[in-house]
Structure 1
Amino acid sequence: MSRRSRFSEHIEAVISIVHFGQFLSVGAVGTVCDNIVLLLLSETGIAAALAATLKISDSSLIVAKIVSIETAIVVMFLLNEHWTFGDEGAAGTSALFHRLGKSHIVRTGGVAVQLIVFTTVYRVFNVTLSLMGIDLWLLIANGCGIVIGMIINYISESLFTWRIQDT
């Protein structure tokens, strides 16, 4: 098979409307988890305490964001594993943990982009927007990062974690 035809198969596999729709739905659940954990950690001071314990006190927002991302990644992996890509990949516990590890590695690009976009939007634009004491700008900046990171994650997860082009 030529490179061009393999590339075409990869593209066709990635642009599956069904998989993309499921991935978006799972992403919505992940976004809710991410935002809840981010708000909980940042608004209650838990992230500041954790950052101080780790001796990185100027980075409490980043600590909160990293924990919220990890929570969302695990939740989304489990949903994608059993729903979006439930018919893909090898069976068994070992294969499951292999895909979970691979998912974390694959998502590093999306996570890096998400952190950069989130930090840039939140700190550079520095808008004060709150409702009932909740920092809404935090959620808006988080949403910007999530959307950009999601595109990278969908392509990466489709091609490398579940290898949908091989089915």
Structure 2
Amino acid sequence: MELAKNIHSIASAPRFNQFLSVGVAGAIIDNVALLAFVEFISLEPLLSKVIAAEIAIIIMFLINDKWTFSDFGSDNMWSLFRRFAKSNVVRSGGVGVALLTLFVLHNILGVWYLAANIVGIGGGFFVNYCAESLFTWRVQQ
């Protein structure tokens, strides 16, 4: 019964659409930062991805906390810090998917690193949405 409630809460169309909107903004930030680190600072794409992903994660967390999941958080600084720490841990799964995709597509198959990154972000999105909903903000009906 509890699992069914959680699935119903996660499947909320308005919340999913908000998370998706924030994710699109995050993907843009991630790709712009990735491009800048690779092309202007000459870092390797995988290292650049790690840095770019963290920048995007910080910005997306702040937007999601105040907009997408505003009903599930507290303004208390300690509570905000705990949610941020959880979000970083939870999003490591999505970042792992994105990094693995980037590595395989770019390093092994020769796909342009930005195209590979976009595919990886798409794969990590669903992992992130479910994990953030369940563990960071504990969304329940």
Q: TM-score, normalised by structure 1?
A: 0.81
Q: Which has the higher contact order (CA 8 A, sep 6+)?
A: 2
**Is the counterpart of residue 138 in structure 1 residue 113 in structure 2?**
yes
Amino acid at match of 1:41: F
- Which residue matches 2:17? 21
In the other structure, the counterpart of 1:84 is 68
- Rounded to whole Å, the distance in 2 between the matches of 1:79 and 1:15 is 20
* Identical-pair percentage: 41
Aligned partners of 1:45 and 1:83: how far apart in 2? 34
The CA deviation at 1:110 is 1.0
1:100 matched to 2:84? The reply is yes
Q: 1:32 maps to what in 2?
A: 28
What amino acid is aligned across from residue 153 of structure 1 in structure 2? Answer: N
Counterpart AA for 1:17: A
Compare 151-160 and 115-124 and name the one that shifted more: 115-124
TM-score (norm 2): 0.96
**In structure 2, what is the Cα distance between the partners aligned to 1:20 and 1:63?**
30
- What's 1:160 paired with? 135
Larger Rg belongs to: 1
Secondary structure of the 2:74 match is: coil
3-state SS of 2:72 partner: coil
8 Å Cα contact 1:89/1:163 also seen in 2: no
2:41 match: 45
Deviation at 1:91, TM superposition (A): 2.9
Q: Give 1:13 deviation, angstroms.
A: 0.7
- The amino acid that maps onto 2:115 is I
Equivalent position amino acid for 2:63 in 1: L
Task: Structure 2: state its 5+ residue gaps.
Answer: none
**Structure 1 moving runs of 4+ over 2 Å:** none
Count of equivalent residues = 141
Note the residue ranges of structure 1 that are not aligned, 5 or more in a row.
48-59, 128-136
